[in-house]
Amino acid sequence: MRLNKITIIGVGLIGGSFAKGIKKAQLCNQITGFGLDEKELQKAINLNVIDDYCLDIASAVKDADLILLSVPLGAMQKVLTDIKPYVTEKTIITDVGSAKTSVLTAVKTVFNKIPTRFVAGHPIAGKEKSGVEAACDALFKAHKVILTPTSETDKHALEQVQHLWQALGADVSEMTPEFHDEVFAATSHLPHLLAFGLVNLLNDHEELGNVFQYTAGGFRDFTRIASSDATMWRDISMSNSDSIVKWLKNYQQELDHLINLVETHESDKIYDFFSQAKKARDTHIQ
Amino acid sequence: MRLNKITIIGVGLIGGSFAKGIKKAQLCNQITGFGLDEKELQKAINLNVIDDYCLDIASAVKDADLILLSVPLGAMQKVLTDIKPYVTEKTIITDVGSAKTSVLTAVKTVFNKIPTRFVAGHPIAGKEKSGVEAACDALFKAHKVILTPTSETDKHALEQVQHLWQALGADVSEMTPEFHDEVFAATSHLPHLLAFGLVNLLNDHEELGNVFQYTAGGFRDFTRIASSDATMWRDISMSNSDSIVKWLKNYQQELDHLINLVETHESDKIYDFFSQAKKARDTHIQ
């Protein structure tokens, strides 16, 4: 199962951590990096994340057994267009995008159909810090990786991608791209947008002065995800907009209900609302 | 400034931590506890949080220089009624309730006017765990304590309460009860209700299965406050309902704006929205 060459397009936190894990597990002879910033690629060499890098994408992907696309969702179609002339029928391509329908649409647009050896993926792992310095071979250990193959995905390619993530300690599962986008709109995209929204709301109310000085640990934790990268979240919002809007509207309905309970002083129902939430969280989140 | 007797009504996390801090700083000869559960009071004795306890409130508050009310907001009026016959003009009374207008209304209702030696307070500190076992003498260290005196508050009583909190390492400041309730509706009550709402929303969508399994660290942090005590939050919602409803509605408007941006694919404006939030948080929250 040892590969000869893996090319990482975008050697940041995720791409770099993947590369480090693969090197540590000795699953590949050569890991080549590609990116737009040579300094970052040189840093990746110095940190022993990749073996070499190329500044032209043709050389970077030439003879690669597997290409990992770890670029922002907004750059996906451009990168696919750039690599298209150089990938063969044997090249496995996989990605780490946080939305899957839009990636598959981009693939279809560029290749006219989804190549059978394209395996869409999404590792559920991250860090507050980004960039290759934050890369860590254990980042995916005990974390979920979701693959969203279609009926036409090549079985060997799927197994190969699965095998690599498992070798990095990930818990790999499969679902349809549509289900993936719905689930992550609800569990990840929605809370991120809610957190950005709360910080902006408080920041815009100058008549209260700087209210952030009165916040405590609960607020800090609640809004930690509002310190996430704006470009990444713009791309996710653009790429999964239908599901995100749907869940934001679902959430507004939930708030309408809660506002009504508080406005009408429905003491018991307010208690039940909080108590159910506490029970669900205590049960499901460790 | 050493007091002879302090009575703590409600010896849980907050009341117990106050007692422990006072004992450590040797600011009082005797700390007496009162509560409804004798086992808890005995535990408080064993943990050296209080010196003694009484099961009848008359004996508990008799000759107390200062009474700390650390009971749920919903119990405040009852407790005030119960202690009223036994407090003298010299007794300083203070509380730790998370909403201040409603506490002052309860005081006015019970005493017909606000006694000049009543000093309303709110320490901005907490823990995930509750109960006297979680009490800790350093809980308030470097935390804010807000006092909301009125124009008629006795200056000596205010200074005494201020002095005690400062001796526990707290950063004491003053504001009006109305401003307090507005600020904490925005910075504390709102995020708590938002977190309870998100967990309930995801819990109620059975068609997605158990989506909690796909959540990661961001979700865990975002919803930590949804594991807070339901009784406490029911009481806060009932006690500060006007400000809470106002801020929930402000938040709905913020979400309307964000939904509109995502629906219309306003890429640059979405970026600005996230980027402003990130900047505000990175600036104000350490």
Secondary structure (DSSP) of A225-247: GGGS-HHHHHHHHHHTHHHHHHH
- pLDDT tens, A199-210? 999 998 888 899
DSSP states of A109-165:
HHHSS--TTEE-EEE----SS-SGGG--TTTTTT-EEEE---TTS-HHHHHHHHHHH
In the block, tokens 């990096």 appear at A33
Regarding whether A190 and A171 lie in a shared domain, the answer is no
Q: Where are the beta strands (DSSP E) in B73-210?
A: 92-95, 118-119, 121-123, 144-147, 171-174
Chain B residues with CB under 8 Å of A228 CB are 218, 274, 278
At which of B156, B174, B192 does a domain end?
B174
Res A146: pLDDT:
98
Q: Are residues A106 and A57 in the same domain?
A: yes
CA–CA min distance A54, chain B (Å): 30
Is the domain of B197 the same as that of B167?
no
The answer on B258 and B198 residing in a single domain is yes
CA distance, residue A66 to nearest chain B CA (Å): 27
Range with the poorest average pLDDT among A79-88, A203-212, A274-283: A203-212
Interface with chain B: mutation pick from A234, A253, A269, A276, highest number of B CBs within 10 Å = A234
Number of compact structural domains in chain A: 2
**Is B260 in the A-facing interface, judged by CB distances under 8 Å?**
no
Best interface-test mutation with A: which of B171, B173, B174, B200 has the largest number of A CBs within 10 A? B200
Average pLDDT score, chain A = 96
**pLDDT score at B205:** 86
**Residue B129: per-residue pLDDT:** 78
- pLDDT exceeds cutoff 70 at B1: no
Max Cα separation, chain A?
A: 68
The 10s digit of each residue's pLDDT in B44-96 is: 999 999 999 999 999 999 999 999 999 999 999 999 999 999 999 999 999 99
Of A225, A238, A265, the CB nearest to B222: A225
- Do both A209 and A273 map to the same domain? yes
B175 touches chain A (CB under 8 A): no
Q: Which two tokens stand for residue A250?
A: 């679902």
Residues A192 and A198: their CA atoms lie apart, in Å, by 10
Residues B157 and B195 in one domain: no
Q: Per the CB < 8 Å rule, is B277 touching A203?
A: yes
Task: Say whether residue B62 is in contact with chain A using an 8 A CB cutoff.
Answer: no
Select from B174, B200, B215 the last residue of a domain: B174
Give the whole-angstrom CA distance, residue B6 versus residue B33.
9
Mean pLDDT, residues A49-54: 98
How large is the average pLDDT for residues A121-131? Answer: 86
CATH classification of the domain holding A167:
3.40.50.720
Inter-chain residue contact A191 with B218, CB threshold 8 Å: yes
Question: The CATH number of the domain where B268 resides is what?
Answer: 1.10.3660.10
Residues of B with Cβ-Cβ distance to A229 under 8 angstroms: 278
Quick check: A218 pLDDT over 80?
Answer: yes
Res B126 pLDDT > 80? no
Which of A33-42, B128-137, B149-158 has the least mean pLDDT? B128-137
Tell me: do B87 and B13 sit in the same domain.
Answer: yes
- Looking at B174, B206, B222, the residue that finishes a domain is B174
Question: How many beta-carbon pairs under 8 angstroms link A with B?
Answer: 273
Do A125 and A249 lie in a common domain?
A: no
According to the 3-state scheme, what is the secondary structure of A5-68?
EEEEECCCHHHHHHHHHHHHCCCEEEEEEECCCHHHHHHHHHCCCCCEEECCHHHHHCCCCEEE
Q: Taking CB atoms and an 8 Å limit, are A278 and B143 in contact across chains?
A: no
If asked whether residues A30 and A151 sit together in one domain, one would say yes
d(C-alpha B190, C-alpha A223), whole Å? 12
The verdict on B173 touching A (C-beta cutoff 8 Å) is no
Does A23 share its domain with A154?
A: yes
B283, with CB counted inside 10 A (0-12, 13-18, 19+), is exposed
For residue A112, what pLDDT is reported? 96
ipTM of the complex: 0.93
For residue B202, CA distances in Å to A237, A250, A281, B66 come to: 19, 10, 10, 46
Rounded to a whole number of angstroms, the distance from the CA of B74 to the nearest CA of chain A is: 10
Domain co-membership, A104 together with A8: yes
Q: Is the pLDDT of residue A238 over 70?
A: yes
Expressed as residue numbers, the domain containing A273 is: 179-284
Shared-domain flag, residues A87 and A183: no
pLDDT recorded at residue A70:
97
Q: Are B196 and A274 inside 8 Å of each other by CB?
A: yes
Query: Residue B286: how many CB atoms within 10 A of its CB?
Result: 5
CB–CB contact A226 B196 (8 Å) = no
pLDDT computed for residue B263 by the predictor: 98
